[in-house]
Structure 1
Amino acid sequence: MMNFGLFMVLSSLVMFFCGVWSFTFYHKHLLNALLSLEFMMLGVFWMLILQMSNVGNEVYLGLFFLTLAVCEGALGLSLLVLVVRSHGNDYFKSFNLVEC
């Protein structure tokens, strides 16, 4: 029988590597890239919380990390809205740095 803590750590590693896999193979759209980055951050956050629960009751580092992840997500969504308004879609191949 597997230990519950080991199962939780393995599930967070699977979440992280699924995010890396989806970022690698589904990178045609900006929205897919942002969602996979958020999924990777969720896996890292879960692993951080699991490790901090083993050390003690230190939740401030986890809250700080979660705050940074939320700010990163909000910035990504605002860039997505800006790109869709200016280019009409979110394909990476439609971005041209020469026209900017």
Structure 2
Amino acid sequence: MNLEFIYMVLLGLLSFSLKSKHMLSMLLNLELLLIILFLGLVNYLMNLNDLSFTMVFLAFSVCEGSLGLAILVDMIRSSGSDLVLLVNFLW
């Protein structure tokens, strides 16, 4: 495994943990982590000469992105802000 790939994953996780004030920045960091995972998956599957699973992974990541945006719009409509600390999900 490449050392650069490990650094990218660690920086993505660090960015996700430090930038957790706004929901939009959390969603962008999750998309960054998905792109890093996609690049690692493509790198691994190119050695096996089978890239068919990458389309399934991309489809699931698109669904994840659209669900995240729907949750973001619902949060902004209900609370008026995308601050994670102001929203109580347990009601």
Task: Output the TM-score relative to the length of structure 1.
Answer: 0.81
* Structure 2 counterpart of 1:45: 38
* Structure 1 counterpart of 2:6: 13
Query: What's the Cα RMSD here?
Result: 1.6
- The reply to whether residue 78 of structure 1 matches residue 74 of structure 2 is no
3-state SS of 1:27 partner:
coil
Output the CA distance in 2 between the equivalents of 1:32 and 1:48: 24
Output the CA distance in 1 between the equivalents of 2:32 and 2:47: 23
Output the CA distance in 2 between the equivalents of 1:82 and 1:49: 34
Output the CA distance in 2 between the equivalents of 1:71 and 1:97: 21
Q: Report how many aligned residue pairs link the two structures.
A: 91
Q: Share of identical aligned residues, percent? A: 34
Is contact 1:23-1:37 (8 Å) kept?
yes
Output the CA distance in 1 between the equivalents of 2:89 and 2:61: 27
Deviations 1:36-55 (A, max 9, x none): 11111110110000010111
Deviations 1:19-52 (A, max 9, x none): 1011111101111111111111110110000010
Is contact 1:12-1:44 (8 Å) kept?
no
3-state SS of 2:62 partner:
helix
Residues 49-60 of structure 1 aligned to structure 2 (within 5 Å): 49-56=42-49, 58-60=50-52
* Structure 2 counterpart of 1:3: none
